[in-house]
Structure 1
Amino acid sequence: MKTLLADGPSNLYATEMEQFGRLTGHWATEITYYPTNGSPARRVSGEWEFSYALEGRAVLDVWQWPAREEILTADRAADQECGLCVRIWDPRLQLWRFTFHGTAHGDQVHMYARQIDDEIVMERAVGSDLIRWTFTDITTGTFHWRNERSTDGGHTWRLDQEVSARRLH
């Protein structure tokens, strides 16, 4: 698998690669889910690992919850997840092409992403709904991520999920 992972970004699009590349490393996460039925929010811990890949022309990540330590000490939750994300810079579109493959439930998500000011915004339409995933408050040691949905063409947004991440290494 030496071809899969890379030590750093390709020189070809180094500036663009840094948008997601600054997340490379291993992160501890606290994930909060906000049910649509008004039930109380649910929190779980997890892990998120990012790496350059494919000769530095992509950024891969693996999203997992519960965290590895919890998987070893508890029964696996019915709604657990371990998924792979592939992000590739498209120079023609000047956007990131993003694909998520969730292995626990067979979820597949395709989105486009771009940097807007200090945030990285990923977007897609699902039927008449708009979905937006946003990385915010990115520092060398922390970041925040949120999953929002709009049912009115983007006029208002409802928070479905958020993640607070702390760098492990």
Structure 2
Amino acid sequence: MKTSIDSNPRSFFEGLAASGPAPEYADRLMLYGQFVGDWLAEADEFAADGTVTRSQWDIRFDWVLEGRAIQDLWITPVRNGNEVGWSEPGNRYSTTLRIYDPKIDAWHILWINPPGGYITRQLARKVGDEIIQVADVDASGSLTRWVYRDITPNSFRWCNEQSVDQGKSWRLVQEMRAKRRR
């Protein structure tokens, strides 16, 4: 027996993707909606010993879940049609789900990177001209925040910062400079 869902078959991806923000909170959803599209980024990662590692990133944002959320991909090394082994050093093929919560006027952020085995949960809000995502204290007792800065329609700077003194001071761990692909 066929159900009503059988009469309207959609692929998983068609069900996931959305054409734009949900109308109820369209203005609030544009905090991350402004990034929808494809980006290229150059990044510097700063180790505690002063070593700097450089990388290039392919970043893609899009609307999902009937426009109620933004999902993005953060990929390095840039694939250019090549596969990268799961355990290859520096491999990050990750996704972020960004969900606006009108009850608290903030965003729930969930970042997942299978090759590194990382899952990070954060809460995000706009503060001045920046978007600040804050995670809970990690196992080492450190705080982490990810901050979008210098946001324009065609560029942004993303900073990963860490604090070992409960937020009194922050050390820059990673910085990306992204430009929108034309």
TM-score of the aligned structures, taking structure 1 as reference length: 0.93
Residue equivalent to 1:149: 162
Residue equivalent to 1:34: 46
Whichever of the two has the greater Rg, that structure is 2
Letter in 2 for 1:118: D
In 1, the alpha carbon distance for the partners of 2:126 and 2:15 equals 27
Identity score, percent: 32
For residues 9-88 of structure 1, what are the structure 2 equivalents within 5 Å?
A: 9-39=21-51, 41-69=52-80, 72=82, 77-88=88-99
Structure 1 residues 45 and 12: CA distance shift in structure 2, 3 A: same
- Alpha-carbon RMSD across the aligned residues, in angstroms, is 1.7
Residue equivalent to 2:9: none
List per-residue Cα deviations over 1:114-150 (Å, max 9, x = no partner). Answer: 0111111000121421111001111111110000001
Unmatched 5+ stretches in structure 1: none
Runs of 4 or more consecutive aligned structure 1 residues displaced over 3 Å after TM superposition: 73-77
In 2, the alpha carbon distance for the partners of 1:142 and 1:75 equals 30
Letter in 2 for 1:156: S
In 2, the alpha carbon distance for the partners of 1:7 and 1:119 equals 26
* Range with greater deviation from structure 2 (107-116 or 122-131): 122-131
In 2, the alpha carbon distance for the partners of 1:11 and 1:55 equals 10
Cα drift, residue 159 of structure 1: 0.3
